[in-house]
């Protein structure tokens, strides 16, 4: 046996030893994640169950007596110090500043004898001692309804397990109208269109279009492991007219005290929601397995970074890493189909379609970190953003949509037009310069999307004013549906995108485009005030 073969065998043997050691030294990084961090005041995070980048985030909706009218603290549905829980919904945002989601509210009850003139009368107190949350799992005991609630999730489905102290009086409220809003009184107008049907004694399915922040289409199927023996449809609270109903259901609980509920979601259709559910959760009494599966998926993400620190710092670090991978969300079905911003159904080239793109918040740190930890994910995200660009319908009569542009703040495939700049541009350029590209698009297609995004007018970019004045005058009517605010900020954010686009132009040998973009990226000097040392707005006279 020659020396080369001996060396190979030694290396292979050593690798096997290391592999065995690694298996025996498994580290559960999820024990360092505390999902309750950030759930108080304006942290705007939720404690419920989700998987990395999943479409579903099943979590509690909390309530307090001051929750009336405008309520900024409840934009994701939960506040740590609230004394009541009003139910549990399927979808949530994470760390954002605007309300949306909280689709399809379910609340287990011990009695239907509740004054249902207000949807908040079904609330229940709970103790913090009974509340538990780890990645992929949430648990709480509802004192007033005497029910132990457990939640877990897959990518497209929520799984609930209720254990009733008094199964003979077990009920379940389903509120298909509910959703979070800036104004609590706006729940009555949350749903623009809806239809639903009980397919049999074990299945409810339907469709709803919600309006808050972006008009979203959601198809769903709700399955129960026990037979429905009675249904009561409630009138709308406070004599309001609502598009979607509320039901109180009663089940055949003779065998035991546990009721399991599985909910599949889709943006495409009811049959697709069913397929998502049946693929990801194909049996009853599998709650523990699905919970462990979700936990394992989180460990696969968290293990990308190992730190040497005390427990407190590990909890802070791994909780932050956990939050990093809650969004964006893959809203494509298991077969890759998704609904575009134009309500068309298309199939993703990668099998994924990532949305909930809070790019103004994430381009500085989160997106660059994705390129280091999960570059394959970045490639899929870039593909989704280019798919979104190509899916846009140009409308010359609508200044917001007169030209195509990359996503700015996209929610479930719909542009919200929130914040300023177009920071998909630095996300693309950062990834491209690191060698990460969307495989189904050419360099020319990538640059065309970036050029259009920074150089053609659309909502809040004001490029024609910048090109005319060298800045955005605060006394000139802004070019696209605006009110003259933030003119300095919009300039600075826009020309930062120009600078990044120029880097790509230079990389691709596009000298004319590079010179143009590089020159405009220096327009910050036009609003710099040397006397104060600050950037300051100017009027059309340059004053």
Whole-angstrom distance, CA of residue 416 vs CA of residue 213: 6
Query: What pLDDT sits at residue 71?
Result: 61
Query: What pLDDT sits at residue 189?
Result: 82
Query: What pLDDT sits at residue 13?
Result: 40
Question: In Å, what is the CA distance from 533 to each residue of 42, 111, 335, 543?
Answer: 32, 66, 55, 16
SS3 content of the chain, % helix, strand, coil (to 5): 35, 25, 40
Q: How far is CA 376 from the centre of its chain?
A: 19
CB 53 within 8 A of CB 327: yes
Query: What pLDDT sits at residue 294?
Result: 98
Domain boundary assignment for the chain: 29-302, 328-535
Asked whether the CA dihedral 346, 350, 355, 360 is positive or negative, the reply is negative
Where the chain has pLDDT below 70, the residues are 1-24, 65-72, 112-113, 184, 478-484
The pLDDT tens digits of the residues spanning 152-204 come to 999 999 999 999 999 999 999 999 999 887 776 778 788 999 999 999 999 99
CATH of domain 29-302: 2.70.98.10
Strands 105-109 and 124-125: unpaired
Q: Which residues contact 409 (CB under 8 A, 6 or more apart)?
A: 357, 358, 359, 360, 415, 416, 417, 418, 419
The pLDDT tens digits of the residues spanning 414-471 come to 998 888 999 999 999 999 999 999 999 999 999 999 999 999 988 778 898 999 999 9
Residue 432, class by beta-carbon neighbours within 10 Å (0-12 exposed, 13-18 middle, 19+ buried)?
buried
Whole-angstrom distance, CA of residue 194 vs CA of residue 203: 17
Give per-residue burial for 59-80: e unless 16+ CB within 10 Å, then b: bbbbbeeebeeebebbbbbbbb
Sheet-wide strand order for 414-415 = 357-358, 409-411, 414-415
Query: What pLDDT sits at residue 66?
Result: 63
Query: What pLDDT sits at residue 180?
Result: 85
Level-2 CATH architecture, domain 328-535:
Up-down Bundle (1.20)
Query: What pLDDT sits at residue 388?
Result: 96
Q: Between vectors from CA 523 to CA 367 and to CA 509, what angle results, nearest 5°? A: 60
CA-closest candidate to residue 405, choices 418, 393, 419: 393
Q: How far apart are the two ends of the chain, measured CA to CA in Å?
A: 85
Question: In Å, what is the CA distance from 423 to each residue of 110, 128, 498?
Answer: 50, 40, 10
Say what the alpha-carbon torsion angle 244, 105, 123, 181 is, to the nearest 10 degrees. -70
């Amino acid at each position: 046996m020659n020396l080369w073969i001996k060396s190979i065998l030694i290396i292979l043997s050593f690798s096997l030893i290391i592999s065995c050691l690694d298996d025996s030294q498994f580290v559960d990084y999820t024990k360092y994640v505390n999902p309750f961090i950030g759930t108080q005041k304006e942290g705007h995070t939720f404690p419920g169950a989700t998987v990395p980048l999943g479409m579903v985030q099943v979590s509690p909706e909390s309530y307090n007596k001051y929750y009336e009218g405008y309520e900024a603290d409840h934009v994701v549905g939960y506040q740590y110090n609230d004394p009541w829980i009003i139910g549990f919904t399927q979808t949530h945002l994470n760390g954002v500043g605007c309300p949306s989601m909280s689709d399809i509210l379910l609340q287990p009850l011990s009695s239907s004898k509740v004054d249902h003139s207000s949807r908040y009368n079904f609330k229940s107190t709970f103790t913090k001692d009974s509340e538990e949350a780890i990645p992929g799992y949430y648990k709480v005991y509802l004192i007033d309804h005497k029910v132990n609630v457990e939640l877990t999730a897959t990518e497209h489905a929520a799984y609930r397990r209720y254990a009733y102290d008094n199964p003979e009086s077990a009920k379940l409220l389903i509120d298909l109208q509910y959703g979070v809003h800036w104004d609590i009184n706006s729940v009555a107008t949350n749903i623009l269109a809806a239809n639903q049907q009980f397919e049999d004694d074990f299945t409810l399915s339907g469709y709803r279009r919600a309006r808050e922040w972006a008009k979203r289409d959601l198809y769903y199927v709700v399955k129960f492991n026990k037979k429905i023996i009675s249904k009561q449809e409630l009138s709308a609270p406070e004599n309001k007219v609502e598009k979607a109903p509320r039901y109180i259901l009663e089940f055949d609980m003779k065998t035991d005290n546990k009721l399991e509920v599985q909910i599949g979601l889709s943006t495409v259709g009811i049959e697709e929601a069913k397929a998502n559910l049946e693929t990801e959760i194909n049996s009853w009494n599998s709650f523990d397995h699905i919970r462990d599966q979700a936990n394992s998926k989180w460990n696969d993400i968290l293990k990308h970074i190992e730190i040497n620190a005390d427990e407190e710092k590990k909890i802070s670090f791994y909780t932050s890493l956990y939050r990093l991978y809650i969004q964006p969300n893959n809203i494509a079905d298991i077969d890759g189909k998704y609904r575009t911003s134009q309500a068309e159904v298309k199939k993703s080239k990668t099998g994924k379609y990532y949305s909930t793109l809070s790019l103004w918040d994430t381009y500085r740190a989160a997106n660059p970190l994705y390129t280091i930890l999960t570059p394959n994910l970045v490639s899929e995200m870039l593909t989704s953003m280019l798919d979104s660009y190509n899916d846009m319908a140009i409308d010359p009569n609508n200044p917001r949509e007169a030209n195509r542009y990359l996503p700015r703040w996209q929610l479930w495939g719909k542009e919200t037009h929130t914040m300023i700049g177009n920071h998909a541009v630095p996300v693309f350029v950062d990834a491209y310069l690191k060698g990460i590209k969307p495989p189904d698009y050419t360099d020319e297609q990538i640059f065309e999307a970036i050029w259009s995004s920074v150089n053609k007018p659309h909502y809040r970019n004001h490029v024609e004013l910048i090109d005319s004045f060298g800045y955005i005058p605060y006394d000139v009517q802004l070019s696209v549906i605006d009110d003259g605010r933030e003119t300095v900020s919009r300039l600075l954010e826009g020309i930062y995108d120009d600078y990044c686009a120029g880097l790509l132009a230079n990389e691709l040998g596009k000298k004319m485009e590079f010179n143009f973009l590089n020159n405009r990226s220096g327009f910050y000097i036009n609003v710099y005030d040397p006397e104060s040392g600050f950037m300051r707005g100017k009027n059309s006279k340059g004053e």
